[in-house]
Amino acid sequence: MRGAELVLDARAARGEGPLWDARDQRLIWVDIDTSTVHRYDPLTGCDQWQDVGQPVGAVALRADAGLVAAVRDGFAFIKPSHMTLVAPVEIEEMGNRMNDGKVDPAGRFWAGTMASDLKPGAGTLYRLDRNLRVHAMLRGVSISNGLDWSLDGRTMYYIDSATGGLDAFDYEPEDGALSRRRRIVEIHERDGVPDGMALDAEGFIWFALWGGGCVRRYTPSGSLAAVVELPVSQVTSCAFGGPELTDLYVTSARAGLSAEQLAREPAAGGLFRFKGQVAGRAPNRFLG
């Protein structure tokens, strides 16, 4: 399959969390390490950013305006002028921070943590309910990463990067409970580490391969269906956007690459777009 084009030479340390905002037709994304939330306008090529004051793993749209965010110390609301921590988590866990997150079909925001030194099992996947109460849904996570829900809303897909694969859970839409964890896709070490994820309108699963230089598409049962190649190795996440939701936006990271590697992949940290045939789904909004 044809590759993706560089649309923004962002040189992000750790570009992540792409999210399409249909209201103003912009692609929101974060650079975790520089504590910034970005808004990219595909029409003008302009990228505006906001410093939120602490590392930010993911953001999601709220019902009215503004964003809910998974920041280092927990869950926060972001407005154009400032950030407010609304539900702290793990502040006592020195060195842990929030990573990837997404809103479920019922309007709850999920995000998980990881240890900055990658200590195994130090993280937790949390659920922020509409009443702003936090529930620990999965403990012993190492690098909490991509997540998304099936078309019928009854399966949650989840990536703990350190486990080298993609898992599925039965998901109870009513109360947000998880059960029956099982492995759907196993990734060989030489192919990279699974990272951020997005489902398309056919229910197929797309996820980024950190260290693997690509995004892969899988059937709901876990068969490889397509590969989108990137000119960078540290591919972090993907999301559908554009007027018809058929543009797959892909984020990447520059952090940790040697001068030699950067010479080979000068676009590392850039934002990419793959114009495909398949449409994605509009992101859910946080209803709290």
Active site residues: 195
CB 13 within 8 A of CB 256: no
Expressed in angstroms, the distance from the first to the final Cα of the chain is: 40
Q: Hey, how many other C-beta atoms are within 10 angstroms of the C-beta on 19?
A: 25
Q: Which of 113, 145, 155, 252 binds Zn ion (CB under 5 A)?
A: 145
| CA–CA separation, 136 and 85 (whole Å) | 18
Nearest distance from C-beta of residue 136 to Zn ion, angstroms = 20
Judged by CB under 5 A, how many residues of this single chain contact Zn ion?
4
Q: Which of 195, 200, 247, 265 binds Zn ion (CB under 5 A)?
A: 195
Q: Give 40's strand partners.
A: 27, 47
- What are φ and ψ of residue 163, in 5° steps? -85, -5
For residue 184, give Cα distances in angstroms to 126, 181, 248.
Answer: 22, 10, 22
Of the listed pieces 65-73, 109-117, 188-196, 247-255, which binds Zn ion according to CB under 5 A? 188-196
Q: Which of 230, 241, 240, 238 is nearest to 266 (CA)?
A: 230
Nearest distance from C-beta of residue 14 to Zn ion, angstroms = 8
- Residue 148 interacting with Zn ion (CB under 5 A): no
Of the listed pieces 41-49, 68-76, 143-151, 180-188, which binds Zn ion according to CB under 5 A? 143-151
Nearest distance from C-beta of residue 246 to Zn ion, angstroms = 23
Of the listed pieces 41-49, 138-146, 224-232, 238-246, which binds Zn ion according to CB under 5 A? 138-146
Interface map 93-112 toward Zn ion (x if CB under 5 A): -------x------------
The residues of the shown chain that bind Zn ion, judged by CB under 5 A, are 100, 145, 195-196
